[in-house]
Structure 1
Amino acid sequence: MRWYTNLVRYAVALVAATGLMVGPRAFAASEPVFPPGASVGLVPPPGMSPAAAFAGFQHEAGASIVLVEMPPEAYAQIVAKFTPEALKPTGFMVKGEAQPLAVTGGEGRLFRGSQDANGLSYTKWVAVVRGPAGTALVTVQVPTDAKEQVSDSAVETALKTIAFRAEQSLQEQMAALPFKVGDTAGFRPVRMIGGSGLILTEGPKDVDPEGTQPFVIIAASLGRPVAPDAQAAYAKTALNSLAQLKDIKIENETRSEQGKATVYRHHAAAADAKTGKPVKVTQTVIFQDGSYVRVIGMDPVGKGDVIARADKLAGSVTAR
């Protein structure tokens, strides 16, 4: 599979995400605040506090700022992909053209618009920025009925404070994830996805555009909780929505309890959407306390034990 292409797709998917969970903590800052393990930060608007479930900030009125880091080379591809027409299917209705956004030691583009989701209307900003430490996607969404708590001017001011610091080590970034991996089962951690996901592989390449190595992606939820009676359908829909695959055929599905968590696991056979080559897939979704962690393992090379080891890794994932 193509991790780099998947990161760009992940960026588009994040633009569509709304309804992040928020908490009531008060917070104030005068200097850029960097989420744990992150290389990008900003001075959040008054009343917004660091989030525990994702890399970013939150407000009790429902506003959120999500920071997602990507490789330096991702900037050009994301800017090219992010057009008003391309973003419209995600539900993000861009107003006007993207505007330049000044970033110390780098550059940026800012999209402004709105989005309706979960019965609410949001004012939305999406900034794609590049600095010395890499590329970042900064997504801000404010419910229209929360304008008094988080004003447009406060958001615009915050976006002008986006800053980068020296890249944190992978170990430091992993320590800030909302989950722990007890057993990597022979896979090697490669890169974070935002502040809530991790890519692992097996093999010498850190970037594998030809899809010659197995890999595992672990990602924590950023959206609203999934009701218990909807979890089974949600897990199956998530598997069938993997954009890099086609002809997905589920071969096995199980439901189990893991402590306080409910776990849904699917094994499937599929084909690479671009090359048509066969791919074995496993997906484990761990639902607990209103959130979930999703673990996807893919074997594009037919190595016999990849799926079993990906399942072993998934079985060791626990919430922090």
Structure 2
Amino acid sequence: MTTMTSALRAAARALAVLGPLACASPVLAAEAVFPPAASVGLAPPPGMTPSKAFAGFEHRSGASILITEMPAEAYGQLVEKFTPDALRATGFEAQGSGAALSVAGGEGRVLRGRQAANGQSYTKWVAVVRGGAGTGLVTVQVPEAARAQVPDAAVEAALTTIAFRAPGSLTEQMAALPYTVGDLAGFRPVRTLMGNALMLTEGPKDIDPDGAQPLVVVAPAMGRAAIPAGQEGAFARKALATFREIKDVTITDEERTTRDGAVFLRLRATGTDAKSGRPVAVTQVIRFDGPGYLRVLGLAPADRAEALARAERVATSVAMR
């Protein structure tokens, strides 16, 4: 499961409706568990444990709960798009129009539905919640074959335990990532996403909707996602082509190297920022190593293409913990 686009847009991905949630009192009484340095947590269903690969929880059956944190102002934008029609294009089959979700000191909406992905069919819940000074997007997916191990009622009960706390510092959030970055190459960290991805920029703005500043995003695969030997180039080109923030992508250079048993596939490209229309320069470095991969994407205005070489320095300095 890759999440580069969703990380950049921080947009909701799943939808499906849930009626009013019933909750068993033992779950309500359970104390919320928070991913390291996170501000959003919940009491997970029995058998689900904190993930070491992303912010959330996972089950040996393949079921998972992914928690994404966003600024408070994101809540209104997400709720506006939180309809079956708006997200049908993502592959979700909704079962209704959504329901209110009670959140201590805040508010929320929850939807439930199904989606097919990677040859499997999943039941999914998505809750967008607001509390404290932030917004949370909580996505639960349970393979159809695992519903006896992670029952619907247990998921729905867990969603009613969503809670907020003060977030950890950016330094603490970076320390909780499953990797380290040895060379920031002149970029500064802005935020972490889903306890998995790291966003860096160069310039004074933390949020740069016009794409005027160079941007680097580091994001490893979530879970095991081995790419067969010899298919790295095709995978990298497909990954870049599906990055919706950039249109009219033209690959200008490709390089494959091997270091310490890992394959590095680098692509350079040009394109157009889909929102602002600005011409941009792009670099993508994917490190394929055993059962997983790590992707680093660098974007810069066309007249600041020198930043790409530094983004590639960031990519080569990443080490998994």
Pair in the same fold by TM > 0.5 = yes
In structure 2, stretches of 5+ residues that fail to align are: 16-26
Per-residue deviation, 1:193: 1.5
**Partner residue in 1 for 2:255:** 254
**Partner residue in 1 for 2:282:** 281
Matches within 5 A, 1:171-210: 171-210=171-210
Distance in 2 between residues matched to 1:85 and 1:199, nearest whole Å: 30
**Partner residue in 1 for 2:214:** 214
Any idea what SS the aligned residue of 1:237 has? helix
Any idea what SS the aligned residue of 1:145 has? helix
**2:223 aligned with 1:232, yes or no?**
no
Any idea what SS the aligned residue of 1:11 has? coil
Letter in 2 for 1:87: L
Letter in 1 for 2:300: D
Any idea what SS the aligned residue of 1:243 has? coil
Q: Please tell me the root mean square deviation across aligned C-alpha atoms, in Å.
A: 2.0
**2:317 aligned with 1:316, yes or no?**
yes
CA contact (8 A) 2:212 2:300 kept: no
1:39-86 deviation line (CA, Å, top 9, x unaligned):
111001011111111111111122111111111111111111221012
Q: 1:288 to 1:10 in 2, by over 3 A?
A: farther
**Partner residue in 2 for 1:144:** 144
1:219-265 deviation line (CA, Å, top 9, x unaligned):
12125513223332111111111211111111111111232321111
Per-residue deviation, 1:143: 1.5
Any idea what SS the aligned residue of 1:228 has? coil
Per-residue deviation, 1:8: 7.0
Any idea what SS the aligned residue of 1:177 has? coil
TM-score, with structure 1 as normaliser: 0.90
**Partner residue in 1 for 2:39:** 39
CA contact (8 A) 2:211 2:273 kept: no
CA contact (8 A) 1:64 1:140 kept: yes
Letter in 1 for 2:239: A
Per-residue deviation, 1:293: 1.4
Letter in 2 for 1:236: R
Letter in 2 for 1:248: V
CA contact (8 A) 1:104 1:131 kept: yes
Letter in 1 for 2:283: T
Letter in 2 for 1:294: R
**Partner residue in 1 for 2:19:** none
CA contact (8 A) 1:133 1:167 kept: no
**Partner residue in 2 for 1:166:** 166
**Partner residue in 2 for 1:23:** none
CA contact (8 A) 1:185 1:310 kept: yes
Any idea what SS the aligned residue of 1:75 has? helix
**Partner residue in 2 for 1:293:** 294
Any idea what SS the aligned residue of 2:304 has? coil
Q: 1:10 to 1:258 in 2, by over 3 A?
A: farther
1:141-178 deviation line (CA, Å, top 9, x unaligned):
11222222111111111000001110110010011111
Comparing 215-224 with 119-128, greater Cα deviation is found at 215-224
**Partner residue in 2 for 1:302:** 303
Equivalent pairs counted in the alignment come to: 304
Any idea what SS the aligned residue of 2:303 has? coil
CA contact (8 A) 1:272 1:278 kept: yes
CA contact (8 A) 2:210 2:275 kept: no
Distance in 2 between residues matched to 1:205 and 1:261, nearest whole Å: 35
**2:106 aligned with 1:106, yes or no?**
yes
TM-score, with structure 2 as normaliser: 0.89
**Partner residue in 1 for 2:245:** 244
Q: 1:72 to 1:8 in 2, by over 3 A?
A: farther
Q: 1:10 to 1:223 in 2, by over 3 A?
A: farther
CA contact (8 A) 2:210 2:276 kept: no
Letter in 1 for 2:249: I
**Partner residue in 2 for 1:22:** none
**Partner residue in 2 for 1:25:** none
Distance in 2 between residues matched to 1:133 and 1:175, nearest whole Å: 22
Letter in 1 for 2:106: G
Per-residue deviation, 1:192: 1.4
Distance in 2 between residues matched to 1:193 and 1:272, nearest whole Å: 21
Comparing 251-260 with 169-178, greater Cα deviation is found at 251-260
Identity among equivalent pairs (%): 56
CA contact (8 A) 1:126 1:137 kept: yes
